[in-house]
Amino acid sequence: MTNPDLLPGPLPSSLQLTKEGHLKHFLTVEGLPPLMLEEILNRAEQFVTLPNKTQRKAPLLRGKTVVNLFFENSTRTRTTFELAAQRLSADIINLDIRTSATAKGESLLDTIRNLEAMNVDMFVVRHQHSGAAHFIARYCAPYISVINAGDGRHAHPTQAMLDMLTIRQFKGTFAPLKVAIVGDILHSRVARSQIHALTTLCTGEVRVIGPRTLIPTGIEQMGVNVFHDLHAGLDDVDVIIMLRLQKERMQHALLPSAHEFYKRYGLTEEGLRYAKPKAIVMHPGPSNRGVEIDSKVADGPQSVILPQVTNGIAIRMAIMSMTMGSQSGKSS
């Protein structure tokens, strides 16, 4: 498997969709039709609105086995996938990569083949290399579904979809909205997936805000407007999405300091006043308080960060049930 920072061009939709147009894998938002994104949101909304805990466990994936393949640490994402699978009545295997055969030198493909021999039904993959989930989807058995839980700098599609669900809950339709994504756009797989989702859903305007060193060259081709001044970028917006500063993915000193970043791009109560009075504030987490966002804003009345976490379980339940639903049975 190669290790590109970005995959060359959009993923063929045929890899993600069945011949009938159903969701087989969920690897990226890019290339999926608007109706598919709406279907995911609608199904997730059903899980969110279940009236009480006793009715939250559904038998949709009873008898199915889901493997969490996390080559990168992420307690929050792994936990929400685990809870989503449990609430769909699936069996869960959390593979500890640090002690697995892969860590001892076995190839990724060998690991996949051995897990297939155990009759599993789904791989949830988080990997530091762009394209890892796509690689597994291309070469795994045809009865297995693959969900991308984040790959390199490329994509984090379930995070983008839970963000879309949160925006829709609080703001309704996307067409009139101005949405600003603020921070380290260059290293953020979340930002790329959010931009694809927002543009696919016909959002009125998508802005990216950050220092020149953290904005990818040519990002305007993705249909966004670029701002390097925070207050100008936040002017009259409906939704503010703050990004985590991706220090672990920075290969060079692209910022003078975290303190300097906060002074220019951290969201404070003063900066929030430039947005519309009823603007909502989002963050994919985990947030660095005092670096990307002030605690008064993160905990304030316009913050919807905790609903994002709740929606993460519902979105992952929706996607898992949709991909598993497209399976036509295991090969004999």
Q: H/E/C letters for each residue in 274-297?
A: CCCCCCEEECCCCCCECCCECHHH
- For residue 100, the model assigns a pLDDT of 61
Residues 83, 117: one domain? Answer: yes
Strand intervals (E) in the chain: 65-70, 91-96, 122-127, 145-151, 178-182, 205-209, 225-227, 239-242, 280-282
Determine, yes or no, domain membership for 50: yes
**Is 92:86 a contact under the CB 8 Å cutoff?**
yes
| Alpha helical stretches, state H, 105-156 | 108-116, 132-139
Q: What is the CATH number of the domain that holds 93?
A: 3.40.50.1370
Low-confidence ranges of the chain (pLDDT < 70): 1-13, 50-56, 96, 98-106, 246-254, 256, 326-332
258 within some domain:
yes
- The Cα–Cα gap between 69 and 83 comes to 15
pTM, to two decimals: 0.90
Whether 222 and 113 share a structural domain: no
Does 163 lie in the same domain as 146?
A: no
- pLDDT, averaged across the chain: 88
Q: Do both 165 and 300 map to the same domain?
A: yes
Domain shared by 52 and 119, yes or no? yes
The candidate with the shortest Cα–Cα distance to 312, out of 71, 55, 78, is 78
In a shared domain, residues 237 and 301: yes
Q: Do 163 and 152 share a structural domain?
A: no
Query: What range does the domain containing 297 cover?
Result: 157-306
Strand 65-70 versus strand 91-96 pairing type: parallel
Both 62 and 77 in one domain: the answer is yes
The partner residues of 178 in beta bridges, in order of sequence, read 205
96 has which bridge partners? Answer: 70
From the list 247, 246, 241, the residue with the least C-alpha distance to 305 is: 241
Whether residue 23 is contained in a domain is answered as yes
Per-residue model confidence (pLDDT) at position 163: 98
135 and 181 co-located in one domain: no
Whether residue 260 is contained in a domain is answered as yes
pLDDT of residue 325: 83
Do 286 and 302 belong together in one domain? Answer: yes
Question: Would you state the structure tokens that stand for residue 159, as one six-digit string?
Answer: 């995070």
Same domain for 152 and 184, yes or no, is: no
Phi, psi of 198 (to 5 degrees): -65, -45
- Residues 182 and 196: their CA atoms lie apart, in Å, by 16
- Whether 1 is in a domain gets the answer no
Question: 325: helix, coil or strand?
Answer: helix
Provide the CB-side half-sphere exposure for 175 (13 A, CA): 2
Residue 179 in any domain: the answer is yes
How confident is the model at residue 150, as a pLDDT? 93
Indicate whether 21 and 131 sit together in one domain: yes
DSSP 23: B
